[in-house]
Amino acid sequence: MSVSAMLLYVFATSLTMVLSRNTEVINIGAEILRFQCFSLPFLAYFATSSMLMQNIGKYYSSLVISVSRQGIFYIPLLFALPFIFYFGAERAVYGTACGRCTGIFTGSMVVRNNRLR
């Protein structure tokens, strides 16, 4: 995942040019793709921690991990980020990466707390 994130970061503009010829779309798309690359290496841990909790019978913990990325963090961040950091509506796409990072942090805390019991 880390290697693919680095490749995506380096070739973000070229990959975005495959999808569109509009320079504004290419610039915004490359910026979004590069921002997503920071959270990409941690998604494997996120998926593994959710599956671990399911397999050891901690279904509520697995539910919290699974819902945290999209439901608990992403939706509120989608509405809050444009106002908190004055990103504006066009910068609301940063909510995806921020939601992933907070979800991964939640997943690691849930796994840590269940390990201590």
Instruction: Report pLDDT for 92.
Output: 64
For residue 37 the two structure tokens come to 């690359």
pLDDT tens digits for range 77-116:
877 777 776 666 556 677 777 888 888 888 889 988 887 6
Instruction: Report pLDDT for 94.
Output: 74
pLDDT tens digits for range 8-66:
999 999 999 999 999 999 998 898 888 888 888 888 888 888 898 999 988 898 898 88
Distances (CA, A) of 35 to 7, 19, 97: 13, 18, 7
pTM of the model as a whole = 0.70
Lookup result for tokens 């019978």: 57
Amino acid at 35: F
Amino acid at 102: T
